[in-house]
């Protein structure tokens, strides 16, 4: 079922959804089920699976020359989505990115997803990989999520890359996109980021999932600005608790967002690992309660591979 239908059917009750990483190469599918089993008890409406592009590493050969190898630490997004749908009968949502895909690769991936009965996609550009200074699109691929949306909406009306195809099957994907309450790191300002977000909506996005934030006011302001610009699709807040001391620096560094002073100071004062976790979880519970009072369509938890923290928070707020 489409995310938009899940929201409609919930009739104002906020959905619970989670986002996981596919297993590391070398692990089996049970690693995913182990993460998901405790969360499935809480009836998630859908489960997102992130996509991880291949990186390049260089190794010296015996003759002294460098050889380039392609490595993908977490392959298997599409297969894990299929496994989740089969095992739990819950909608799985693969993340689909521009990076590393030609338009033909994208079309083939979408055909697979359609055959597998996947109804939803989270459509993204993808981040630069380590060997890139800034994002480099694949030759013959897409430079922005908006271009990828255009390809999907074309397939949704039966238009494949080969325009000589006759009576081709129209797909019917529901399209989610990313939104950034504290703006995307490359954007010169929030207004310009919202201009491009609106473009994604005009091209066919059906719902937005936000980057994580720790200050609800950032989300409230973001929603207000979106509505003023006639961006009227559901905006699902992305949620993650801060649970370690190191995240005081790694979260702002990796996700380009601010941590509220009150939260950061309390963590800074505490020396105890368990206490820091408690502080972060308690902060997140308060955040979720306030977001539910605001009337959010759902709470989307970035669980990564840690289901215990997400479970604690969800049990306290649902």
- What residues line the site for ligand FAD (CB under 6 A)? 50-51, 53, 95, 97, 122, 124-127, 144-146, 178, 184, 186-187, 193, 196, 200, 209, 211, 238
- CB-nearer residue toward ligand FAD: 93 or 242: 93
Find the shortest distance in angstroms from Cβ 265 to ligand FAD: 27
Q: How far is the CB of 97 from ligand FAD (least distance, A)?
A: 5
Active site residue: 19, 55, 150, 266, which one?
Answer: 19
User: Which of residues 201 and 267 has its CB atom nearest to ligand FAD in the complex?
Assistant: 201
Joined together, the tokens standing for residue 59 give 């190794």
CB-count exposure of residue 220 (10 Å: 0-12, 13-18, 19+): middle
| DSSP element (H, E) containing 275 | helix 273-294
Using DSSP bridges, classify how beta strands 15-20 and 298-304 pair: parallel, antiparallel or unpaired: parallel
CB proximity list for 239: less than 8 A, separation 6 or greater: 212, 284, 287, 288, 291, 299, 300, 301, 302, 313
d(CA 51, CA 130): 15
Nearest to 101 by CA among 119, 77, 80, 118: 77
In the complex with ligand FAD, the residue whose CB is nearer, 2 or 125, is 125
Name residue, tokens 């297969």. Answer: 79
- Residue 19 annotated as catalytic: yes
Nearer to ligand FAD, 2 or 200 (CB): 200
Neighbours of 131 (CB within 10 A): 11
Return the number of the residue (50 or 310) whose C-beta is nearest ligand FAD: 50
Closer residue to ligand FAD (CB): 85 or 187:
187
Burial class (CB in 10 A: 0-12, 13-18, 19+), 58: exposed
SS3 state at 132: coil
The answer to whether 51 touches 80, Cβ cutoff 8 Å, is no
> Shortest distance, CB of residue 47 to ligand FAD, whole angstroms?
13
Task: Report the alpha-carbon distance of residue 177 to residue 167 in Å, rounded.
Answer: 29
Least separation in angstroms between residue 176's CB and ligand FAD is 8
Q: Rounded to the nearest whole angstrom, what is the least distance from the CB of residue 53 to ligand FAD in the complex?
A: 6
Nearer to ligand FAD, 14 or 277 (CB): 14
* Beta carbon of residue 274, minimum distance to ligand FAD (angstroms, whole number): 29
Q: What is the DSSP letter of 240?
A: -
Collect all residues with Cβ–Cβ distance below 8 Å to 202 and sequence separation of at least 6: none
Q: How far is the CB of 144 from ligand FAD (least distance, A)?
A: 4
Q: How many CA atoms lie within 13 A of 100 on its CB side?
A: 19
Strand pairing category for 174-179 and 120-124: parallel
Positions marked catalytic: 19
């Amino acid at each position: 079922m489409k995310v938009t239908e899940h929201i409609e059917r919930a009739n104002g009750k906020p959905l619970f959804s989670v986002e996981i990483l596919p297993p590391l190469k070398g692990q089996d599918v049970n690693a995913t089920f182990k993460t998901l089993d405790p969360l499935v008890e809480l009836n998630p409406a859908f489960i997102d699976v992130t996509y991880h592009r291949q990186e390049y590493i260089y190794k010296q050969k015996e003759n002294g020359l460098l050889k380039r190898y392609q490595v993908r630490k977490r392959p298997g997004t599409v297969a894990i989505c299929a496994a989740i749908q089969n095992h739990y009968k819950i909608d799985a949502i693969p993340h689909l990115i521009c990076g590393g895909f030609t338009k033909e690769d994208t079309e083939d991936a979408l055909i697979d997803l359609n055959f597998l009965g996947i109804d939803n996609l989270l459509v993204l550009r993808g981040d630069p990989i380590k060997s890139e200074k800034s994002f480099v699109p694949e030759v013959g691929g897409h430079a922005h999520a908006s271009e990828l949306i255009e390809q999907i909406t074309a397939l949704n009306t039966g238009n494949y890359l080969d325009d000589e195809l006759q009576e081709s099957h129209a797909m019917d994907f529901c399209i989610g996109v990313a939104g950034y309450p504290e703006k995307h790191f490359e954007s010169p300002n929030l207004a310009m980021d919202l201009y491009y977000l609106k473009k994604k909506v005009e091209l066919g996005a059906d719902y937005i999932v936000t980057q994580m934030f720790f200050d609800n006011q950032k989300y409230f302001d973001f929603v207000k600005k979106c509505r003023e610009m006639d961006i009227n699709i559901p905006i699902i807040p992305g949620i993650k608790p801060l649970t370690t001391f190191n995240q005081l620096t790694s979260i702002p560094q990796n996700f380009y967002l601010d941590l509220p002073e009150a939260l950061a100071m309390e963590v800074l004062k505490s020396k105890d690992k368990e206490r820091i976790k408690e502080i972060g979880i308690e902060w997140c519970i308060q955040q979720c309660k306030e977001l539910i009072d605001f009337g959010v369509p759902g709470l989307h938890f970035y669980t990564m591979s840690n289901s215990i923290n997400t479970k604690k928070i969800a049990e306290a707020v649902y």
